[in-house]
């Protein structure tokens, strides 16, 4: 099947951009069925904005009591562990399974 360049309108900014024949072939090889919805500038803007939204929360480790920073906001009253205690717990679980 031959591919030809297509004009597509960005859903964010409304600018028309080219969905090239090469990109279409790449999409088909990867099994992607949808046409891209965002122009390159809007894709880059979304990626930059997503990188800034990373949440870091300072909490006290439920096991050893040290202050640690975690990349999420703790919810549901579940215990939060520091990196060391979490790694030790993972080791304990893997040795118990063996």
**Angle value at C-alpha 95, between 89 and 98, nearest 5 degrees:** 145
| Euclidean distance between CA atoms 56 and 48, whole angstroms | 17
Beta bridge partners of 75: none
With a pLDDT cut of 90, the percent of the chain lying above it is: 54
Q: Where are the domains of the chain?
A: 6-52, 57-97
37-84 pLDDT, tens per residue?
Answer: 999 999 998 888 766 666 788 999 999 999 998 888 888 788 899 989
pLDDT given at position 53: 64
Q: What is the pTM of this model?
A: 0.48
Instruction: Output the six-digit token pair for 14.
Output: 């409304």
2-33 pLDDT, tens per residue?
Answer: 899 999 999 999 999 999 999 999 999 999 99
pLDDT given at position 19: 95
| Euclidean distance between CA atoms 73 and 94, whole angstroms | 27
């Amino acid at each position: 099947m031959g591919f030809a360049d297509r004009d597509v309108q960005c859903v964010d900014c409304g600018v028309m951009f080219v969905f090239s024949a090469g990109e279409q072939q790449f999409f088909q090889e990867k099994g992607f069925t949808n046409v891209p919805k965002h122009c390159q500038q809007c894709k880059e803007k979304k990626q930059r904005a997503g990188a800034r939204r990373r949440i870091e929360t300072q909490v006290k480790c439920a096991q050893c009591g040290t202050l640690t920073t975690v990349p999420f906001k703790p919810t549901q009253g579940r215990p939060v562990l520091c990196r060391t205690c979490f790694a030790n717990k993972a080791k304990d679980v893997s040795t118990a399974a063996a």
